[in-house]
Amino acid sequence: MKHVALQQARVLRSTFVIALALCIGGCLDEQDATTASAGYSEGPGTSDGQWQYLGGDSAHTRYSPADQINAENFEDLEEAWAWDGASFGAASGRSTPSYVNGKLYTVAGPRRQVVAIDPATGETIWSYREPHTRRWEYSMRQDYGKGVAYHEVDGRGVIYIISPAYFLTALDAETGRPLEGFGKPVPIEGFPQTGVVDLLADLGHAYDPYEGLPLEKGYITSSSPPIVVNGVVVVGNSAEQGYNQSRIENVPGDILGYDAKTGKFLWKFSVLPRPGEFGHETWENDAWEWTGDISSWAPLSADQERGIVYVPTNGATLDFYGGFRPGDNLFSTSLLALDVKTGKRVWHFQLVHHDIWNYDTPTAPVLLDITMDGRKVPIVVQTTKQSFAYTFNRETGEPVWPIEERPVPASRVPGEKLSATQPFPTRPAPYDNQGLTHDDLLDFTPELRRRMLEILEEYEIGPLFNPPLHRGNDLGKKAALWCPGDIGGVNIDGPNAADPTTGILYVTSRKHCSYRVLAPGAERDALIKEPTGSTIADWVVTPPYGSVQGPDGLNMFKPPYSRITAIDMNTGEHLWWIPVGETADRVLNHPDLKDMEIPNTGFGVAVAPMTVTSTLLIYAGQASDGSAQLYAIDKATGEQLARVEAPAVSSYGMMTYVHQGKQYIMLQTGSKLTAMALYDPDADSASVH
Amino acid sequence: MMTVVVVQACARPVFLLCSLVLAIAMLILLFAPTALSADRGTENGQWHYLGGDAAHTRYSPADQVNADNFGELEEAWVWDGASFNAQSGRSTPSYIDGTLYTVAGPRRYVVALDPANGELLWSYGEPKTARYDYSMRKDYGKGVAFASIDGKLVIYITSPGFFLTALDAATGQPLQGFGKPVPVAGFPKTGVVDMLPDLVSDLDIESDPYNGIPLERGYITTSSPPIVVNGVVVVGNSHEQGYYQSRIENVPGDILGYDARSGEFLWKFHVIPRPGEAGHETWESDAWKWSGDVSSWAPMSADLERGLVYIPTNGVTIDYYGGFHPGNNLFGTSLIALHAKTGQRAWHYQLVHHDIWNYDTPTAPVLLDVNVDGKPVPIVVQTTKQNFAYTFNRETGEPVWPIEEKAVPASDVPGEKLSPTQPWPTKPAAYGMQGLTHDDLIDFTPELRKAAVASLREFKIGPLFNPPLHRDNDQGYKAALWCPGDGGGTNIDGPSVADPASGIIYISTQADCSSRIIASGEERDADIPHPTGKTFSRYASLRPDGVRGPEDLPLFKPPYSHIVAIDMNTGEQLWRIPVGDTPELVLNHPKLQGIDIADTGTGANAPMLITATLLIYASAASDGTPMLFAVDKKSGERVGEAELPESAHYGMMTYVHEGKQYVIAQTGRTLTAMALAE
Amino acid sequence: MFDTGFAMNRIVPAALLLLLAIGRPAPADGLTTNDAVYSKQQAKAGEQLYKDHCLLCHDKKYFRPVFAAWEGKTLGTMNLVMSTSMPQTNPGSLPLANYVDILAYMLSLNRYPAGQAPLPADNQVLDNITITPR
C-alpha cells in the first residue's frame, strides 16, 4: 500500500480509489488457508501464435490457429535454425518447448536444465540447473522431461518444472532466476534461497533432503512438468519403471497442489485410497499400507473454466505381477478428474482393473467440446496403449458412449488374481490391433504366413488383456504375447492432436505385441543394483523379453505397421486413417517380397509427432529411404497435400509458434530442436561475420 | 604490502607497536575472507588466468602427468559447447577454486563447468544489441578474467558488443553493486558497464546503448578478456580485421581501466597520442584525429608486484596500405607497459614502424625473471608474426639485447611512405623464416624446385618487410608476396609458453607467406556490406592471393612448422623440433618416392602447455590423427604421446581437481579433458 | 578441347591468369551456381572436410552473405582464395581436390541445386561458373 503525505487529502482519496480498484481486481480476495491466492492469469494458450503448455493449450490439443504455413507454401519450408542441447547432455528430445511472450522454453539433459531459447535464432538465452543431490542420481527418468509449465504471477511470467530429484522449482521467465518469495530454503549446498519447494516434505513420508526417501520405502521422481490452473500448481510424478522393480513395497504417487505465487502447499490427493476413503475396498489385503506407484508420468490437462485437472495414472507397484495386491487397485491405470482448488476427486474412471500389463496411461487426456444430438457436450478423451479411446463427459465423468465390462482371461500365474472383466468402450472403435489372432499376421505369401505361425508356436496368444505367463507354465509356452504391448497402441512418443474447431481427434498408433515371462523374484532381484522396497515379489519379469519379429526381419503383422486415425468425436466414427510415412526400402526391396506390390505399410513402427493448425494436420515421418519428412495432410480427408524433407527424424512431439510475424514448426529431433520456417531470401544476405 | 608496513613499524624503536602491528597482520592474514592466494595463479593445481599466471607463461607446476605415464592419457570427459553455438575453441578455460570457467560461442556466453565431468553448472549470455550483431570477433573470446571481491570470486568478461560484465562466480548472476543499468531490454540491473561512452568521451561521437556508434566514425569490439591488476580491470579491445576495411576513418582502440568492485571508470590511455602527448609527432598528417584501430586483441599480461600491465597492439586502420597516415604511427604494432593504477605509460616499444603488413602483435607478452650476464633481469618477451622475439627489461623498457634500426625496402604503391628502417633484434636470432628467396623453396627434386620458382613468377618477392604491391603496377607482377604472412610466424593459434624456473621460452612458428591483391579502396568497398568510415582509402586489399606449392606439396623447404626453445638468460636457441609428424601427403607423395624426407612438421602452429617436467603440445600424426606430444623441456626429445579424440587449437591448460590432473585441449566446439586412465 | 602443345601450355594459362587479374566476369554463355554444378556425394565428402578444417572459424551460415557479396565473381576466384589462404592455421595445406569438395559443400549449404557431376578441380571450368543468387 502506498504511503502518502497526510496533508494531501485529494491524493489520499485517489489513492484509496486506486487501492479499492486493486482490491476488486483480486488482491484481497477472501481466502482460506488452503486455497490459492489470486493475481494469476490464465495465459495465452495457443492464441496469438503462442504455445503455452507442452500440449499447446491446457486441453492438450496440440492445435494452433496459426495459418501462415499452408498447403501451398508447405514445400518451401526449410530449416530456420537448430538448437543443439549437447552442452546440457540432451539426448532424448522428449520435451515439447513452450513459446510464450517472445521466448521459447524447454528442458534439456539428465539434469533437466531449464533453458530459454531465442525463437528467431535458436540461441540460448539463459539456463538453470538444479544443484546436485543423491535423489537426482537415482532417478531413471532424468532425461524424460517433457516440457515446462508457464504462468503469469503478478504480471510476470514464471516457469515451473519438477526435477528428477522431485523438487518443484519456479523461475522468473525473463531471467531464469529462482522466483522471489516462492517456496522455502532447501538445506542443501548450492540450492537457491528461494524458488524451490521440496515436494518430499509434503508427500508424507520420512525423508532426507539430500538422499531422498529410504529406498526400502520406495522412490519417487518426475518426468512431465506440472500444470498450473487457476493459480494452483498441480504436481504429478513418476516412478521407477514397473518392469525394473522386483520388490513389492513403494510409495504411492500422490498428487500435490501448490500456490503458484508462493509455493505454499495446498492439498494432496491420495492415489491409493486410505481406509475410509473412496475406493479403499478395491485393496483386498493390506497392500495399501506398503505398496505404491500409481504414478502420473504422462502430462496433465485441465479445464480452466471448470477448475478441473485431469490426471492419467499408471499401475500399482510391479508390472506383470500383482498377486500381492489383490483387488481392482483404485486409482491405478485410471483417469482422475480433480478439483484444482481443493484436490478433491470430482470423478474417476478406471481404464484397466488391477493392471498388470504395463498399460500405463501414456499420454495426456485431451479435452474437446463436441456436439451430440444437437447439444454441446464437454468431453475428455483418453487414448491408451491398449488402442482404446475412452471418452467421458469431462464434467460428470459419464462415458459419452457406453463402456461395457466384458469378461477377460484369467491368469495361470500362481497367486495372481486378475479382474474377471475389463472396461471395453463400445465407441469409438479401437484404432489399432487388439489381441492377436492368426488373421492379424503378415500374409504377403502363404509361405511367410506359415513361417510366422511357426515362430508363434512358442507363445501363448490371445485377445486383448491376454495375461502374462510364468516360467514352467502348464501350457509349455515360452511366454504369453499380449497385444498391444508395452509400447502401445498409443504411447508417449506419439501424443494425440485434436482440432477443437471440428471435434476431430487424430490418434497415432502402432501395431505391437510384447512378451515377458515371470520367474521367481529372487533371480531378477539379483540383477537390480539398488532395488526399492524390501520384500522380493513371488514373481517378477525376468529376461529374456521383447517383441516378436516376423520371418526374415519382416514385421509380424499385416500392414499398416503404424498409422494416424482421424476420429470424429462428435459421432465416435473413424473418418479415415493413413500409414505413418512410407514403406521402408528394406521392405520394398525385401527378397521375400520380390515382384510383389506392397501397399504403404508406414515406415516401420514409428508413430507420428503431430500438430494441427487452422488448415493442416502436420506430421513427421520418414520416406522409404529413411529420410526425415514433414507431411501436410488435409484435416478432413486425410489426403497428403504436400511433403518436404526435414533435417532430422522427430519423435515425441512437435509444436508451432509465430514469432515476429513468422511461423515456425518446431521439431523434436533428439538432442536438437529443429525449427522449420518458410524460405526467406533476405535472411540469406543478412550480414553475419 | 603487509610486510612493508611491518618493516617500517619495526624500524622505529617502538617494540610494542611493532609487535602489535605484527600481531594484527597475522590476525588479518589468518582471518581474512577466503581471498585467492597472491601466488602466481598456477600453484596447487590452479590455472587462474587464461595464460595460467598473470605472466602468461602457460606453465603449471602440476606433475602427476609425466613422461612415464603420458601414454596413458585418455579422454576423461568432453563438454560440447553446441548449445552456445561454440565453434572456434579459442578460449582457454580458467580453473579457480574447484570450478572451470570459460567463454563459448559467438555470444561469448560465460559458462561454469564441473571440472570432474564437464557438466554445465551455469551459463550467462549477454542480451541482444545491434552492437553485438556487427562484431567480427564474436567467437574469438579467449577466456575470462577474475578477481576476489570481498572474499567472493568474481568473473569478468568483455563482450563483442563492448560491454564489461562482472558475474558472481558461484551462481553466474551479474554482480551486485557493479556498473550501471543499461537501458536495453533484457540487460540485468547490475553487473554491466557500457564501455562505449567512456571510449568515445573525448572523440565527439554519440554512443547509443543498443546501436553503438555511427559506422562512419568506426566500430570497436573485443576478443581477449580483460585482466584484473590490483583491483583495476584493464580492458583491451579489437576492431574489424584490417583486411575487411576499405575506408580510412575509425576509432582508436584506447585502453580503459575500471574499478574491479564497482565498475567505476578510472582511466583511459590514448593509443593514438593527441597533441601534447608523447609520440604525437609520429603522426605526420591529421590522421590521428579521424583514423583509428591500434587495437590490442591479443591477451595482456601483468606484473602484479610492479603494478604494470603489458599490452600488445596492432596497426592503424586498413591493412597493407597506410598512405593516409604517414609517420611511424605510435603506438601501432607496439608493446606498451602501463601502470594499472593510473593508466600512465611506463614505457613502450614500437616493433614495426608504420605497420602495413598486418603484423599485429598476435600473442600475449610473456614475463620471465632471468639472469643475463650474471645479473638478474625482469624481462618481457614478445614473440610475433615476423619471427622476432623482442625482449625488454619489463620495468624500464630497455631492450635486453640491442635492437638495431635496419634499412628495409621502400614501397612502390602511390601515396605510400614506409619507414626506411625497422627494428631488428640482434638477439635472440630470428626463430623462423623471414623474407623469401628461391633458396627457401622446396628442393626435394630439381623438378619440384623448378615448378615452385615458376609459380612465384607473378609475385614480387623480397626480404622481411617486403612491401605490398598494387595490382596496377608497371612491374609486371600480380602482387607482392611477404614472408612471414598474415598467419605468422607465430600467431594466436600457438601462443608461446615459458618455464619460469629455467627461463626458457618455447615458441611455435609456421612457414607461410601472404599476398593480397591491392586495388582501390572503392573497389574493395563494393564487397563490404556495411563498411566503417566514410572516405574510400586510395588502396585496400581486394582479396587474398597466394602461391600453392607444386603437386599439393608445400612451397617451402621443411620444416613447415616448428617449435624453438630459447634460453632467455642468454638469448640462445637451445633446440628446434618440427611440430607433429610429417604428413602422409608428403611422406607418400608419388614425386618423392625414394627420397629421404626428414621430419617436416605439419605446417600448423601448436598449442602448448608447460608443466613441472614436460613441454606438451598438440598436433597430428602423419595420418592426421590428432595427438598430444610430450617433449623433454631441456632436450626437445619426444618422450611420450597420446591420441586426442579431436584436433586441438589455440591453447591448452592443465589443473588438478580432487587429486587428479587433467589436461584440457581446446577442440573447436568442444573442450576435451584428458587424464590418466584409472 | 585444348591442344596440349608447348605454346598452349604457356599461353592459355597465362591468358586465363590475365583474365583473373583483370577480374573480367565469365563469358555470357558460361554456367552459374544455379546450374547444378556439383554433386550430392561430393558435397557429402566436402561436409567432412568442412567439419575438420573450416568449422573452427566458419559456421554453416557464414557463407550465405559471402555468396551474396560475391555475386558476379567466379567460383574460380573463390577457389583460388580458399586454396592459397585457407585454412588460416595452415594455409594451402590441403590437396587441391579437397578445396573443390569443400566448395561443393558450401554450395549445398547455400542450397544451390546439386546435379549429377561433381565440381571439377579445374580452374578453367571454375572460372566459367559465375556466382548468382539462388
From B176's Cα to the closest Cα of chain A, the distance in A is 14
Test B186 with A174 for CB contact under 8 angstroms.
yes
Mutate which of C61, C110, C132 to disrupt the A interface (most A C-beta within 10 Å)?
C61
Q: What is the per-residue pLDDT across B107-118, written as a single tens digit (0 to 9) for each?
A: 999 999 999 999
Test A127 with B82 for CB contact under 8 angstroms.
no
pLDDT at A545: 87
**Residues 95-124 of chain C whose Cβ lies under 8 A from any Cβ of chain A:** 110-111
Task: Give the pLDDT band of residue A33 (cuts 50, 70, 90).
Answer: very low
Mean pLDDT value across residues A370-396: 97
Residue A235 has pLDDT above 50, yes or no: yes
Q: Which chain B residues are Cβ-neighbours of C91 within 8 angstroms?
A: 485, 487, 512, 546
Q: Which amino acid is at B604?
A: A
Task: Give the pLDDT band of residue A15 (cuts 50, 70, 90).
Answer: very low
Task: Give the pLDDT band of residue A23 (cuts 50, 70, 90).
Answer: very low
Q: Note whether B300 and B311 are within 8 A (CB).
A: yes
* Nearest-Cα residue of chain C relative to residue A688: C62
Test B545 with C65 for CB contact under 8 angstroms.
no
Mutate which of C64, C67, C107, C132 to disrupt the A interface (most A C-beta within 10 Å)?
C64
Q: Which chain A residues are Cβ-neighbours of B173 within 8 angstroms?
A: 177
Q: Which chain B residues are Cβ-neighbours of A689 within 8 angstroms?
A: 134-138
- State the Cα angle at A131 between A126 and A134, rounded to 5°: 145
pTM score, whole prediction: 0.90
Percent residues over pLDDT 70 in chain A? 93
DSSP state of A377: E
Q: Which chain B residues are Cβ-neighbours of C81 within 8 angstroms?
A: 543-545
Mean pLDDT value across residues A594-609: 93
Alpha carbons A330 and C118: distance in angstroms, whole number: 67
- Work out whether the CA dihedral A469, A431, A427, A399 comes out positive or negative: positive
- Between A30-39, A248-257, A506-515, B312-321, the lowest mean confidence (pLDDT) is in A30-39
From C95's Cα to the closest Cα of chain B, the distance in A is 5
pLDDT at B23: 57
Q: What is the per-residue pLDDT across B274-311, written as a single tens digit (0 to 9) for each?
A: 999 999 999 999 999 999 999 999 999 999 999 999 99
pLDDT at C65: 84
Q: Note whether B129 and B210 are within 8 A (CB).
A: yes
Alpha carbons A222 and A297: distance in angstroms, whole number: 7
pLDDT at A270: 97
Residue A123: count of CB within 10 angstroms of its CB: 20
B: neighbours with 3+ CB pairs under 8 Å?
A: A, C
Q: Which chain C residues are Cβ-neighbours of B527 within 8 angstroms?
A: 69-70
Would an 8 Å CB–CB cutoff place A127 in contact with chain B? yes
Residue A405 has pLDDT above 90, yes or no: yes
Mean pLDDT value across residues B146-162: 97
Test A688 with C134 for CB contact under 8 angstroms.
no
- State the Cα angle at C37 between C36 and C42, rounded to 5°: 105
Report the candidate in B243, B313, B357, B203 with the shortest Cα–Cα distance to residue A689: B243
For residue C34, give every residue at least 6 positions away whose Cβ sits within 8 Å of its Cβ, in sequence order, or none. C112, C113, C132, C134
Alpha carbons B249 and A465: distance in angstroms, whole number: 81
Task: Give the pLDDT band of residue A251 (cuts 50, 70, 90).
Answer: very high
pLDDT at C22: 45
Report the candidate in A221, A223, A215, A212 with the shortest Cα–Cα distance to residue A240: A221
DSSP state of C108: H
Q: What is the per-residue pLDDT across A353-365, written as a single tens digit (0 to 9) for each?
A: 999 999 999 999 9
Percent residues over pLDDT 90 in chain A? 89
- Work out whether the CA dihedral A663, A95, A262, A26 comes out positive or negative: positive
* Nearest-Cα residue of chain A relative to residue B170: A190
For residue A388, give every residue at least 6 positions away whose Cβ sits within 8 Å of its Cβ, in sequence order, or none. A351, A424, A425, A430, A434
Q: What are phi and psi of B364, to 5 degrees?
A: -65, 145
Low-confidence ranges of chain C (pLDDT < 70): 1-29
Would an 8 Å CB–CB cutoff place B360 in contact with chain C? no
C: neighbours with 3+ CB pairs under 8 Å?
A: A, B
pLDDT at B421: 98
Test B546 with C84 for CB contact under 8 angstroms.
yes
Q: Which chain B residues are Cβ-neighbours of C13 within 8 angstroms?
A: none
Alpha carbons A394 and A308: distance in angstroms, whole number: 9
C19 DSSP β-pair partners = none
Domain locations in chain C? Answer: 32-130
Would an 8 Å CB–CB cutoff place C4 in contact with chain A? no
Domain locations in chain B? Answer: 2-31, 43-676
pLDDT at A351: 98
Q: Which chain A residues are Cβ-neighbours of C62 within 8 angstroms?
A: 688
Q: Which amino acid is at C128?
A: N
Q: Which chain B residues are Cβ-neighbours of A124 within 8 angstroms?
A: 83-84, 107, 109, 123, 125
Could you confirm whether domain B43-676 is CATH 2.140.10.10?
Answer: yes
Which region, left, alpha or beta, applies to residue B301 given φ > 0 means left and ψ of -120 to 50 means alpha? beta
- Does residue A21 sit in helix, strand or coil? helix
DSSP string for residues in B501-538 = TTTEEEEEEE---EEEEEE-HHHHHTT-SS-SSSSBPS
- Between A84-88, A512-516, B157-161, C16-20, the lowest mean confidence (pLDDT) is in C16-20
Q: What is the per-residue pLDDT across B100-148, written as a single tens digit (0 to 9) for each?
A: 999 999 999 999 999 999 999 999 999 999 999 999 999 999 999 999 9
Strand A479-482 and strand A459-460: the pairing is: parallel
Across the B:C interface, residue pairs with CB atoms under 8 Å apart total 76
Report the candidate in B209, B147, B208, B196 with the shortest Cα–Cα distance to residue B175: B147
Mean pLDDT value across residues B440-454: 96
Mean pLDDT value across residues B244-261: 97
Test B548 with C83 for CB contact under 8 angstroms.
yes
Query: Which residue reads 602448448 in cell numbers?
Result: B608
A: neighbours with 3+ CB pairs under 8 Å?
A: B, C
pLDDT at A357: 95
Q: Which chain A residues are Cβ-neighbours of B127 within 8 angstroms?
A: 125
Q: Note whether A226 and A237 are within 8 A (CB).
A: no
From C92's Cα to the closest Cα of chain B, the distance in A is 6
pLDDT at A28: 39
Residue B253 has pLDDT above 60, yes or no: yes
Query: Which residue reads 579424440 in cell numbers?
Result: B645
Q: What is the per-residue pLDDT across B580-639, written as a single tens digit (0 to 9) for each?
A: 999 999 999 999 999 999 899 999 999 999 999 999 999 999 999 999 999 999 999 999
Would an 8 Å CB–CB cutoff place A82 in contact with chain B? no
Would an 8 Å CB–CB cutoff place B186 in contact with chain A? yes
Residue A421 has pLDDT above 80, yes or no: yes
Residue of B31 and A620 predicted with greater confidence: A620
DSSP string for residues in A28-89 = T----TTS--S-EE---TTGGG-B-BTTBSTT---B----SS-TTTGGGEEEEEEEEGGGGT
**For chain B, counts of helices (H) and of strands (E):** 8, 37
CB nearest to A84's CB, from B83, B133, B529: B83
Residue B231 has pLDDT above 90, yes or no: yes
B338 DSSP β-pair partners = B309, B345
Residue A284 has pLDDT above 70, yes or no: yes
From B84's Cα to the closest Cα of chain A, the distance in A is 6
* Nearest-Cα residue of chain B relative to residue A131: B121
Q: Which amino acid is at B106?
A: P
Mean pLDDT value across residues A357-379: 96
pLDDT at C6: 46
First to last CA, chain B: 44
Mean pLDDT value across residues A159-175: 98
| Radius of gyration for chain B, computed over Cα atoms and rounded to the nearest angstrom | 25
- Does residue C19 sit in helix, strand or coil? helix
From C39's Cα to the closest Cα of chain B, the distance in A is 23
Q: What are phi and psi of A281, to 5 degrees?
A: -70, -10
Residue A320 has pLDDT above 50, yes or no: yes
Report the candidate in A295, A242, A106 with the shortest Cα–Cα distance to residue A674: A106
Would an 8 Å CB–CB cutoff place B669 in contact with chain C? yes
- Does residue A615 sit in helix, strand or coil? coil
CB nearest to B603's CB, from C81, C83, C93: C93
Q: What is the per-residue pLDDT across B188-217, written as a single tens digit (0 to 9) for each?
A: 999 999 999 999 999 999 999 999 999 999
pLDDT at A17: 45
What ipTM, to 2 d.p.?
A: 0.89
Query: Which residue reads 572456434 in cell numbers?
Result: B88
From C106's Cα to the closest Cα of chain A, the distance in A is 13
Alpha carbons A468 and A464: distance in angstroms, whole number: 12
Test C61 with A688 for CB contact under 8 angstroms.
yes
